[in-house]
Amino acid sequence: MMRKLLIANRGEIACRIMRTAKRLGVTSVAVYSQVDAHALHVELADEAYLLGPAPARDSYLSIGKIIEIAHRSGSDAIHPGYGFLAENADFAEACAANGLIFVGPPPHAMRLLGSKSEAKAAMTRAGVPVAPGSSGGEDAELFEAARAIGLPVLVKASAGGGGRGMRIVRALEELSSAIESARREAGAAFGDDTLFIEKYFSGYKHVEIQIFAASHGGVVSFLERDCSMQRRHQKIIEETPAPGLTPWLREQMSDAAIRAAHVAGYTGAGTVEFLVGEDHFYFLEMNTRLQVEHPVTEMV
């Protein structure tokens, strides 16, 4: 049973986790950088420990320091919150190797779903609809895929996120430069320049399904959030229930999200994102963490 929880984060999410821990009778442990010494999450915690200097690499991204503080404080679990190390499979493995509970999905699920091309292949095996496209490859294979599925297409980084490593291609003569720039950006941002291609669907909605998976295998869907209002692939407004989503489509998407969690061997909170047309949908990605937007679902 969890008795002492270290929250490897700061700000709003760390405060919310601490308040919940208090309600559950769990002792909370904060970590902080030098500039966060008087931050609210430090004041709310039952105990607080200095991580290091302000740069994140020396504090909130330092796996070794966080594990050491967990042992020093007598914590038996670590909650990563969102951002920083929340989707870092190496961090989850380090927790397990040091006898600590990682409050999140298992490392193998994080790695599978962290690769958009591998995730897409897994969804195909599970019968979850995926957009037409390639699963990765060299430039020649990307050109072949673009010709096969028809323009416009979207060049995407397999390890990407936040809109980086993505290019819309509307004419075949644009594809070579799009691949080159996407590879360069993906390599710099993620250390992995693997690309794949998908059909680009203009005017489709972006809808995500909140799920929670228990360690015994049960998965529950908490229905959807519409996050179509975006700027530079960053969500601006989310709402639920999603306007214009039929009961039948909502049920089909919830079932698909549950299958996605099962095929990945997922546990914990996660979000499955879809592109949605009038009467069909395609798997986009699965976020292996508690999302910033989860309070929208909590309000229902």
Residue 20 confidence (pLDDT): 97
Burial of 41 (C-beta count, 10 Å sphere; 0-12/13-18/19+): buried
Residues 37-76 have pLDDT tens digits of 999 999 999 999 999 999 999 999 999 999 999 999 999 9
With respect to CATH, is domain 139-199 assigned 3.30.1490.20? yes
Residues 102-111 have pLDDT tens digits of 999 999 999 9
Residues 253-270 have pLDDT tens digits of 999 999 999 999 999 999
The phi and psi torsions of 93 (rounded to 5 degrees) equal -70, -40
Global pTM reads 0.90
Would you identify the CATH topology of the domain 110-129+201-298?
A: D-amino Acid Aminotransferase; Chain A, domain 1 (3.30.470)
The phi and psi torsions of 277 (rounded to 5 degrees) equal -95, -165
Domains 4-103 and 139-199 belong to one CATH topology: no
Q: How far is CA 4 from CA 20, 42, 56, 74, in A?
A: 13, 16, 24, 7
Residues 85-104 have pLDDT tens digits of 999 999 999 999 999 999 99
Extents of the domains making up the chain: 4-103, 110-129+201-298, 139-199
Q: How far apart are CA 139 and CA 116, in angstroms?
A: 18
**CATH class of the domain comprising 4-103:** alpha beta
Would you please indicate which residues are annotated as catalytic (active-site) residues?
289
Q: How far apart are CA 277 and CA 201, in angstroms?
A: 9
